[in-house]
Amino acid sequence: MASILGDLPSFDPHNFSQHRPSDPSNPSRMVPTTYRPTHNRTLPPPDQVITTEVKNILIRSFYQRAEEKLRPKRPATDHLAAEHVNKHFRAASSSSSTQGL
């Protein structure tokens, strides 16, 4: 019967081929150099500083429902759809301010 551990994946046959097991009773300590970056690419591109959408889940669902209601009534052209977006934004600001109160 073939071993259950047969055909274990090999990505590079050389890996570990010359590994000399050290004395297992004498644990080795890997002491690598410590990385201390001084370059300025530790900061991501400005558009990749991610934040969470501030809109509350409930309010988001209100809009989505409102959007769904509006849509079948006026199968809109691209131009009109853009208008809707504008309306949403106004509604968004007003409702979030009422939330705040």
Residues lying near other proteins in the complex (CB under 8 A) are found at: 3-6, 8-22, 24, 27-44, 47-53, 55, 57, 60-61, 64
To the nearest whole angstrom, how small is the minimum distance from the Cβ of residue 5 to other proteins? 5
Q: Tell me if 95 sits within 8 A of 62, measured CB to CB.
A: yes
- Hunting for tokens 């050290």 — which residue is that? 22
Of residues 26 and 97, the one with the C-beta less far from other proteins: 26
Output the smallest distance, CB 98 to other proteins, in A.
Answer: 18
- 59 vs 101: CA distance, rounded Å: 15
CB 80 within 8 A of CB 74: yes
Cβ nearer to other proteins, comparing 8 with 101: 8
